[in-house]
Amino acid sequence: MDKVKIGQIGLGFMGTTHYRIHNALPYAQVTAVADIDPVKRTGNISSVIGNIGNDDNSKGFDFSNVDVYADPLEMIAKADIDIVDITVPTPWHAEYILAALKAGKHVFSEKPLCRNLEEMNQIQAAVQASDKFFNCGLCVRAWPEYNYLYEQAKAGAFGKLQVANFRRLSPTTEFNLNWKNWYMNADWSGGAILDLHLHDTDFITYLIGIPKAVTSCGRNLNSDHGIDHVLTRYEYGDGTLVLAEGGWGAARSVPFEMSFQVIFEKATVRLEPSGQLKVYWTDGKVDTITIDTQNLPTGWHQELAYFDKCVLDGVTPDKYQTPQSVFDSYRVLCAERESVAQGSKTIAL
């Protein structure tokens, strides 16, 4: 196999982002697409908008050599593809993951994995029964600045981790042109706690481990949006103080922010809201870190380039995350949701 063949389900913000990333790799090609929107099926993606890294969508895609489907299940059944890449709104992740695994395809699904623990259990059983590769787009693990923090911390460069704060704050997407404004429907998106804050929950489990307990407070800013803003304390029972804040309630002109400050014994590492990564050593020296991303500038590029290469080479993907770690952090997130529902009760894991 010279190139892995990919079937892309969903041509919105993430779908068009993935489509471009796969096709820019020398060893991957999107050969089939499926979307329920007839306009996008013509290659016209001018309505697509996202929160960061927006491309020029005024220029459409050329689908003359691509199999185009209205029904994703038909694409899974008929198209000549190795990988099904799922980039539709969250309520449809489980159905397409299960169908693709059943059809013997490798599967990459965007996060959040699914809407609830019941669906997660079905996916976990199907992944365990399949000999195909499965991964979920928890891209922050692969995001260059976060990956730097992870690798240096694990190598012991900064000493013991003492206090960690993570923030992921978005302006409201209420006015965006996402499909049916689905992010603002809590029954579909799960609210900011599931859709947005999950990234930090997942990264914290990667960097520090699965906490013994979580305590979360959250609030709703608009009636049907679910939990729009959340603050969680992750308890490890050893004095390490770990906090994360996530929300999408800010006014529409507020810039998107993903940032962290992690205090270690020997240094404090900060991803500044401006995007600069800095190491402030306790002796007063400050390093500004530049990362050579090898033309894969974001976590989306890194995770997809890695997954496609694993499929090409027949090597089980285990860098960044495993299916088990995807299920583990999803359980932590569900405990946070439970904590908010019970008035900030501490939930043990």
Ligand X SMILES: NC(=O)c1ccc[n+]([C@@H]2O[C@H](COP(=O)([O-])OP(=O)(O)OC[C@H]3O[C@@H](n4cnc5c(N)ncnc54)[C@H](O)[C@@H]3O)[C@@H](O)[C@H]2O)c1
Q: Report the nearest approach of ligand X to the CB of residue 160 (Å).
A: 30
Q: Choose among 21, 12, 14, 11: nearest CA to 309.
A: 21
Instruction: Between 14 and 340, name the residue whose CB sits nearer to ligand X.
Output: 14
Half-sphere exposure of 324 (CA within 13 A, CB side): 4
Q: Positive or negative, the Cα torsion across 146, 148, 154, 157?
A: negative
Question: Which single residue is written with the structure tokens 């900060």?
Answer: 270
Q: d(Cα 300, Cα 118) in Å, to the nearest integer?
A: 27
Residue numbers at the binding site for ligand X (CB under 6 A) = 9-15, 34-37, 40, 48, 50, 72, 87-90, 92, 110-111, 137, 139, 178-179, 182, 195
Nearest residue to ligand X on Cβ basis: 12
Helix 117-129 vs helix 93-102: crossing angle, to nearest 10: 10
Output the smallest distance, CB 152 to ligand X, in A: 23
CB of 265 to ligand X, least distance (A): 32
Report which of 225, 229, 246, 249 is spatially closest to residue 171, judged by C-alpha positions: 249
Q: Is 166 left (phi over 0), alpha (psi -120 to 50) or beta?
A: beta
Closest to ligand X by CB, 19 vs 264, is 19
Residues 232/189, Cβ–Cβ less than 8 Å: no
Name the residue nearer to ligand X (CB basis): 107 or 267.
107
Establish how many alpha carbons lie within 13 A of residue 203's alpha carbon, considering only the half-sphere containing its beta carbon: 32
Nearest to 167 by CA among 136, 142, 199, 138: 199
Which residue number, 51 or 162, has a Cβ lying nearer to ligand X?
A: 51
> Can you say how many angstroms the Cα of residue 323 is from the centroid of all Cα atoms in its chain?
14
Considering the complex, state which of residue 89 and residue 211 has its C-beta at the smaller distance from ligand X.
Answer: 89
**Beta carbon of residue 276, minimum distance to ligand X (angstroms, whole number):** 20
- Minimum Å gap between C-beta 196 and ligand X is 8
Question: What's the min distance (Å) between Cβ of 150 and ligand X?
Answer: 17
State the minimum distance, in angstroms, from the CB of residue 194 to ligand X.
8
- Dist CA 133 CA 320 (whole Å): 14
| Nearer Cβ to ligand X (140/149) | 140
Radius of gyration over alpha carbons of the chain, in Å? 20
Of the pair 172, 178, the CB lying nearest ligand X is at 178
Q: Which is nearer to ligand X, 200 or 233 (CB)?
A: 200
Strands 4-9 and 28-34: parallel
Q: Are 188 and 114 in contact (CB under 8 A)?
A: no
CB of 159 vs ligand X, minimal distance in Å: 31
Pairing of strands 241-250, 161-171: parallel
- Residue closer to ligand X, measured from CB, 134 or 264: 134
Minimum distance, C-beta of residue 307 to ligand X, in the bound complex (Å) = 13
CA distance 314 to 302: 18
